[in-house]
A and B are shown apart, each in its own frame.
Chain A
Amino acid sequence: MTDLTREATGTIAESTMTDFEIKNLRVSVEGREILKGISLGISKGQVHAVMGPNGSGKSTLSHTLMGHPNYKVTGGEVLFKGQNILLLPTEQRAKLGLFLALQYPVVVPGITMSNFLRTALNAKRGYDGKDKSKAISPKEFRALLKDEMAVLRMDDSFLPRYVNEGFSGGEKKRAEILQMAILKPEIAILDETDSGLDIDSIKFVSEAVNRMRGPGLGVLIITHYTRVLKFITPDFVHVLVNGEFVLSGGPEVADRLEAKGYSEWVKESPTKEVK
């Protein structure tokens, strides 16, 4: 598997390290092995897509990378900026520049979007409540939000609302991408950001992600469906089935899935979301 990836990436074949390196990762949930030793290297500037049918381990991968407590790592490592991040608490992974857009963003009553965003941004800037010079000024904060929210077609009314409370499915996903835009990660994982979205929301979200693409950002899109990949063209596509990568290649892999689905590996077939 690792070899295939390296071959596909070509230019980095000689290097032993990409910016974000998943090496032989094994993960169990409630005693059952879900990821069976997967490896994947992501460099900044690249967009990778991991595609797979239901139950293949996609969410396990995204949650494990971010350090969700329900997932138990039983082997392997994930190297980012010279550290095995699997040994770090979630907040420090974020601080290193890792971001996860959740498939199901949680509702957090009592905390407003604007408080949430400002606190996260200040944490990134190293403001710990003491050195005020590190905190973002209200003016700067408003300006930053204004631009990013415009791209996502979100208006100011989101800011005083509690985090995700009463948001539609599309609004929640847009709010995730807004957080990404504000926090400017170096590696971003988009966990099924496209699922459950209407076509307009997919466009706005894709537009925002494409705006962020560039040499400073590596993206890992996790998805069941090929649809989003028409808007965000991946450099590499990896197919995850039953906890293992079964195929890796360029964007043409998505086309193959578009045509044939996952039927080569599992019974489940449709790759187009039925709405």
Chain B
Amino acid sequence: MGFSRAAVEELSALHTEPDWLRLRRLESFEVFERTALPDTKTDEEWRQVDLKPLSLDALRPFEQPDGTASAEIIPEAAAVLGQRGTSPVAARSERLDGELARQGVFFGPLWAAAQDHRELVEQRLFSAVRADRDKFAALHAALFSGGTFLYVPDGMTLEQPLISQYWASASGSTALPHTLIVAGKGSRFQYVDEFIGPAGVETTLVSGSAEVFLDEGADVGYVAVQRWGTSAWQFANQRFHVGRDARLRMVDLALGGRFARLRVDVIMDGPGGQAELKGLFFGTGEQAFDFRTLQDHIAPHTQSDLLFKGALRDASRSVYVGSVRVEKDARGTSANQANRNLLLSEKARATSEPILEILNNDILRCSHGATVGPVDPEHLFYLTSRGIPGPVAQRMLVEGFLKEVLDRVPVQHVRNLVEQELATRIG
């Protein structure tokens, strides 16, 4: 296959990365080499995954840079960062270099931060999303290509969202963006990761992982919009650390990919922390989604609310496995988990599995619920009894089903583009 030490060295040299980062990439590559592919029969985390159609051999290890990064103009955003594959040029909106930078905000490509903000990056990078988690995580850490670093200093509030757009353009290649966010004490902001493309039929390997650290009292909105192309195999890991009295509002919007796997770990390790976790997916054709979530309550008096909702058309399918863990010191925990799946065709399939592990009995609440089924015939009857034609009623009901999550997206730009995409998918 095209993955080699030489490829890692070459990629690192493209961005003239510091030695510490080059060495870390090489270490991760060793992990990749000595780790077998997950055994989907025996490995609990990989059950229901079919890796057989995935061939790593033909993949190019990264996209050759073409220097054409561009950033969309999004008026509501405080700043937009655009990156294309491994191109070393990252387009930045003007405000980034001026006002925000003066106030101590860093928002830029990860490779640049590795040079300029080593003190913030080195300790944290891949400390949450670890390279030794599995073979794909190791490959991601070895060959991450592009990605974003965001640092917002203590006490700082950004009224407008920061948006990072990553385009992968080469079908048949590997595109592994990584996001690292450090939210200072009491900081408040909203951030969007947008992953786009590539079109094309050749198997493409992608990620789109994120490590997000919320210091005491931080209030952070994180939104990821996954719009990979239809030939993409995604293995992504998001991991959030929610500090004391911090508040995370996360929305994952999954639209693209042939096979799109996303692990979301939310670690409630500061007392009084809160997390609202929303997911939305819409499958068409033979798309497969695979979600594994973990709400890990470690500190006392933390609260997490998770709702993942999706609609599946054609022969698309989804797997949801959600764990809630209440550790032994986590008294006063409140944890909710819900997964709702709307099947829009006879061939569409969804499975949902909750896993609860409760080691402290002094908790406020721990609930879980799952539904899998078609549009409610009573709803359909109600709407058509008012003269609304069947297909229009069906469409309204599907939109309404997804709206509950879509309404929680704090950024208009994202709501618009997802609404548009959903409208074409609902058909």
Which residues on A are within 8 Å of B, measured CB to CB? 66-69, 89-91, 93-95, 99-100, 102, 105-106, 108-111, 115-116, 119-120, 123-124, 128, 162, 179, 183
Contacts and interface: CB of A to CB of B under 8 A. Distances in A.
B396 A120 contact: no
28 contacts: A66-B381, A67-B381, A67-B384, A68-B381, A69-B381, A89-B384, A90-B385, A91-B387, A91-B389, A102-B382, A105-B382, A108-B379, A108-B383, A108-B397, A108-B400, A109-B400, A109-B404, A110-B402, A111-B396, A111-B397, A111-B399, A116-B383, A119-B396, A120-B383, A123-B387, A123-B392, A162-B400, A179-B386
Contacts of A106: 376, 378-379, 382
B176 to A, nearest CB: 35
A100 B396 CA distance: 20
A91 B384 contact: yes
Contact of A95 (B379, B387, B400): B387
Contacts of B402: 110
A117 to B, nearest CB: 8
A119 B385 CA distance: 12
Interface string B368-385: 000000001111011111
A120 B386 contact: yes
A66 B385 CA distance: 7
Given A68-B381, A108-B397, A179-B386, 7 more contacts: A66-B385, A89-B390, A100-B385, A108-B382, A116-B383, A119-B388, A123-B389
Chain B contact residues: over half helix, strand or loop, or mixed? Answer: helix
B403 interface: yes
Nearest to B376: A106
Indicate the member of B384, B387, B389 with the most A CB atoms within 10 Å. Answer: B387
A110 B426 CA distance: 15
Interface residues of B, number: 24
B291 interface: no
A110 B405 CA distance: 10
B189 interface: no
Contacts of B383: 108, 116, 120
Nearest to B386: A120
Contacts of B389: 91, 123, 128
Contacts of B381: 66-69, 90
A176 to B, nearest CB: 10
A79 B371 CA distance: 40
Given A94-B385, A124-B387, A183-B386, A110 B377 contact: no
B387 A120 contact: yes
A110 B384 contact: no
Contacts of B376: 106
Closest 5 CB pairs of A and B: A110-B400, A94-B387, A120-B386, A110-B403, A90-B384
B364 to A, nearest CB: 23
Interface in B246-303: none
Contacts of B390: 89, 91
Nearest to B398: A110
A86 B389 CA distance: 17
Most chain A CB inside 10 Å of its own CB: which residue of B376, B389, B404: B389
Contacts of A102: 382, 385
A184 B377 CA distance: 25
A52 B211 CA distance: 65
A183 B396 CA distance: 19
A26 B307 CA distance: 45
Contacts of B379: 106, 108
A91 B404 CA distance: 26
Contacts of B404: 109-110
A128 B386 CA distance: 15
A221 B381 CA distance: 20
A61 B55 CA distance: 60
Contact of B388 (A66, A68, A120, A162): A120
Contacts of A162: 400
A116 B382 CA distance: 10
A116 B390 CA distance: 14
Nearest to A101: B385
Contacts of B388: 91, 119-120, 123
Q: Which of the listed residues B379, B382, B397 has the most CB atoms from chain A within 10 Å of its own CB?
A: B382
Contacts of B401: 109-110
B397 A116 contact: no
A88 to B, nearest CB: 11
Nearest to B400: A110
B384 A94 contact: yes
A174 B138 CA distance: 61
Contacts of A108: 379, 382-383, 397, 400
A108 B381 CA distance: 11
A128 B401 CA distance: 22
Contacts of B397: 108, 110-111
A111 B379 CA distance: 11
B377 A69 contact: yes
B142 to A, nearest CB: 43
A123 to B, nearest CB: 5
A124 B389 CA distance: 10
Nearest to A66: B385
A95 B400 CA distance: 23
A3 B59 CA distance: 82
A120 B384 CA distance: 9
A109 B376 CA distance: 11
A115 B396 contact: yes
Contacts of A111: 396-397, 399-400
A119 B382 contact: no
B247 to A, nearest CB: 25
Contacts of A119: 388, 392, 396
Nearest to A163: B382
A67 B401 CA distance: 24
Interface string B113-124: 000000000000
Contacts of A69: 377, 381
A252 B164 CA distance: 75
A99 B387 CA distance: 9
Among A100, A111, A179, max chain B CB count under 10 A is at: A111
A102 B381 CA distance: 11
Contacts of B387: 91, 94-95, 120, 123-124, 183
